[in-house]
Amino acid sequence: MAEELIVAQGSKEEKYKALIPQIEGIVKYERDKVAVMANISAALMETFRFLWVGFYSVDGDRLVLGPFQGPLACTRIAYGKGVCGTAWAESRTLVVPDVDAFPGHIACSSSSRSEIVVPFFQDGAVAGVLDIDSESLATFDDTDALWLGKAMEIFGASLSSGMGKDSERNGVVVYCASSSEVPEKYLEAARETGRLIAEAGYTLVTGGGYRGLMASTIDGALEAGGKVSGVLPHFMIERGWAHTGLTTCLDTPSMHVRKQTMADLSVAAVALPGGIGTLDELCEIMAWRQLKLFSGKVVLVNIDGFFDPLVDMFGKICREGFMRGGELPVKIVSTPQEAIEYIKGDRP
């Protein structure tokens, strides 16, 4: 996302109009729920300078305090209690012009005079609320309800599509050529890799292109009934380079964010034959593995000796002392079958 928030001058509506695309950016490029809630709170606070902006998340029969900006707040609110608990129970936005007139209002700060609470939903159920307090009476109206509702729709949609479900992360990222002008044996190996990844129950994570080994890997996974997450920088999507069968297509602002996103979604990385882009991805994930920035397995599939010169180079790196510990952060195998067996290795 942009490092700096752009705050529009003018009416409340103009401010929200400028804010919403920035909230989309916050949500799109980060998969950690707490990080997203923290930055949405900060963006709202910086734009409007409210008394208190923050989140409560559903935890059993209570709401528990999440990321916020402002004075200390109560940490737990029971279902149906206060404005927050009522918005949860009624699954709707509540605009409270005068908190003293709201039966059961919970006063976290004595300075709070009016409030708005907007629920957000994950998979159809309330997953929490966005709560905003103001020091003035009647600060909030239908305009706030509308725009904050849009913001929570964006956040909720992302939650429903898997944000924050790290335990369910089960991608295997495949790096390979986007060129189709290569011998058929490589395209076949790519298709087999996609099929084996899907059959093993992993989601194929890929650069998402419609050509080359990338497309063959995607086709193989889809033919086997698997899921495919394609991760493409925005400019490639605009040029129409995305494979049309992707289960999910993630749009990133840059190649760097693309590589980070693919790694974040994955428990293992596989490199198949490819060109400079593939080598870049392979070397980067090996470096991340070595630095413990990526904990998954990294496998190089040396189809028909394609990578022999690189394997020799790796050997030289080790022999001449350039590899700390002498051990390469990559497993070299000859077939897609061996690659998937190695990845599945210690899976329960």
The residue ranges that bind ligand SME (CB under 6 A) are 52, 73-74, 77, 82-85, 105-106, 108, 112, 115, 131, 133
* CA dihedral sign, ordered 245, 251, 252, 257: negative
Q: CB of 106: closest distance to ligand SME in angstroms?
A: 4
**Number of C-alpha atoms within 13 angstroms, CB side, residue 322?**
7
Residue 206 region by backbone torsions, left for phi larger than 0, else alpha for psi between -120 and 50, else beta = beta
| Alpha-carbon span 15 to 329, nearest angstrom | 48
| DSSP label at residue 202 | P
Contact 112, 133 (CB under 8 A): yes
Give the separation between CA 285 and CA 282, rounded to whole angstroms: 5
Q: Which of 259, 241, 256, 195 is nearest to 221 (CA)?
A: 195
- Residue 97 CB, nearest distance to ligand SME (Å)? 14
Q: Write the DSSP symbol of residue 275.
A: -
Comparison of 73 and 145: residue with beta carbon closer to ligand SME: 73
Residue 74 C-beta: closest distance to ligand SME, Å: 6
Task: CB nearer to ligand SME: give 58 or 190.
Answer: 58
**Which residue's C-beta sits nearest to ligand SME?**
82
Task: Report whether 201 contacts 340 (CB < 8 A).
Answer: no
Minimum distance, C-beta of residue 303 to ligand SME, in the bound complex (Å) = 58
Rounded CA-CA distance 258/249 in Å is 11
Tokens of 162: 């898997």
225 torsion bin: left (phi>0), alpha (psi -120 to 50), beta (else)? left
**94 forms bridges with which residues in the sheet?**
117
CB of 36 to ligand SME, least distance (A): 19
Q: Between residues 82 and 273, which has the closer beta carbon with respect to ligand SME?
A: 82
Of 2 and 107, the one with the shorter C-beta distance to ligand SME is 107
**Beta carbon of residue 329, minimum distance to ligand SME (angstroms, whole number):** 46
> Whose Cβ is closer to ligand SME: residue 108's or residue 272's?
108
Strands 94-96 and 114-122: antiparallel
Cβ nearer to ligand SME, comparing 131 with 284:
131
Q: How far is the CB of 5 from ligand SME (least distance, A)?
A: 22
Query: Which lies closer to ligand SME via its Cβ, residue 55 or residue 175?
Result: 55
Cβ-count burial 331-346 (b if 16+ within 10 Å, e if not)? bbbebbeebbeebeee
Least CB distance from residue 45 to ligand SME, whole Å?
A: 13
- Pick between residue 114 and residue 216 the one whose CB is nearest to ligand SME: 114
How many C-beta neighbours within 10 Å does residue 279 have? 14
